[in-house]
A and B are shown apart, each in its own frame.
Chain A
Amino acid sequence: MSEIIIPEILQGKEPVQSVRTPIRMEYTFTPGVAAQAYLREFGKKKILANVSPVDGAILVPPRGADPRHGVLCEEFVELPHQGHVGSFCITNVPIPGRKDLDLPYISAWIFLDGADIGFLNLVSECPPEDCRIGMRVEAVWKPDDEIGMTAENILYWRPNGEPDIPFDQAGVRGWRYRASENSDA
C-alpha cells in the first residue's frame, strides 16, 4: 500500500488515530403476556417456566411460545431455586458500563432442576478454576426488601455442595440422555 500524501500544513502534527462513536438507544420496554406473568411472580421470588404443549419441555424464562415448533405455550409451572451448570464462560476482560463485575467472573447457563433450557446468570462464591459442567448450584437472591419485578433479583448462583451430575447428563447434553431413557422405557 502506498503512503497517504498529506499537505505540508499537517506534517509533524500528532495524528488522530481513534474516534469516539457511541451508540445509544432509549426504549420503553413493555413485556408480553408470558414475560409479565414471569416478572410478577419473580417479584415474589418465584421462578415461572412455560410448558411446551408439544412434548412437555420446560422452558425458562417463559417466552409464551415454543420456538422449536412455533406454538403458543399457555401453561406455567414453578421451578426450584437450584440446578446445575450446563456450560460456562470465565471472563477476564472488563465490559464498559459494568463496573459492578469484579474480574474474573463466571457467567453460566444454569439448568434449573426440571428445566430443558438454560437460564443465563453469574456464578460466584466459586474460584473460576473450580467451576465445572455439572456442578450443582443454588440461587442467591437480593435481600427481600430489595426484590422487585426485575431480572436483577438473583445476584448470582453459588455451589450448593451436592454431588455433580454426570457430564453427559448436564445442560443440553441431557436432551439426548433423556431421549435415550424414554426410548428404553
Chain B
Amino acid sequence: METHERLSAPLVLEYPFTRTTGPVIGAFLTGLREAILLGIKRADGTVLFPPTEYDPQSSESLYEMVEVGQDGTVLTWTWIDKPRDQSPWKQAHALALIQLDQTDTSLLHAVLVDDVKQMITGMRVTTQWRDEREGHINDIEGFIPIEGSGV
C-alpha cells in the first residue's frame, strides 16, 4: 500500500453573534458603560449581582434594579499563570468570585495583581474601569486590591 504523510490543517469555527439584551441585562450593561454597577432586588430584599431577570429560587420575575458598591470581598479564587490567546487578560492574574458591597451573590472576574502571593481569600478589592466603555462586561478591566485594607 502506498504510504503518505498524514494530512492536517487548521480549522477555525467562528460565530460573530450579537444578542439583544432585554431590559434587565440591558440596564446592567448601560450601567457598566456609565461606570455604575446595578444589581437586582429579590422579594426578601437580598440583591443579586450580576442581575438576573428571574429569581433563581422562586422563578418570580424581578423588577427593581439598585446601584451596588464598587468595592467587594474575594470569596474564592484561582491563579491563571498563562492566559490563553483569547482571554481578555494578557498577564498572569487571578480569577475570583467577588462579592460586592450591598450584594448577596458573587461575580466571576479577574483580580489584577502581579503575583499569586498577593492573593488572599477575604481580601478587599475595588473595581478598575476601562477609560473607553461600550456596555460590555469587559468595561471592567478587573478588580484591584484596596491598599492597606488587610483581610
Chain A residues near B (Cβ < 8 Å): 1-7, 9-10, 13-31, 36, 39-40, 96-97, 149
A97 to B13, CA, bound (A): 11
Check B71 for interface membership: any CB of A closer than 8 A: no
Given the complex, which residues of B lie within 8 Å of A31, measured CB to CB? Answer: 7
Given the complex, which residues of A lie within 8 Å of B125, measured CB to CB? Answer: none
A162 to B86, CA, bound (A): 52
Given contacts A10-B38, A17-B26, A36-B7, contact A27 B17 (CB under 8 A): no
Contact of A28 among B9, B16, B29 (CB under 8 A): B9
Can you list 14 A-B pairs with a CB-CB distance of less than 8 A? A1-B61, A3-B63, A4-B63, A7-B38, A7-B65, A9-B36, A10-B38, A24-B12, A24-B15, A26-B12, A28-B9, A29-B10, A36-B6, A36-B7
Contacts across chains A and B counted by CB atoms under 8 Å: 108
Closest beta carbon of chain A to B114's beta carbon, Å: 29
Check B67 for interface membership: any CB of A closer than 8 A: yes
A25 to B36, CA, bound (A): 33
Given the complex, which residues of B lie within 8 Å of A22, measured CB to CB? Answer: 14-17
Most buried by B among A2, A5, A19, A30: A19
Q: Scoring B residues 40 to 78 as 1 if CB is less than 8 Å from chain A, else 0, what string do you get?
A: 000000000000000000000101111100000000000
Contact across chains for A15 and B27 when beta carbons are under 8 A apart: yes
A161 to B135, CA, bound (A): 56
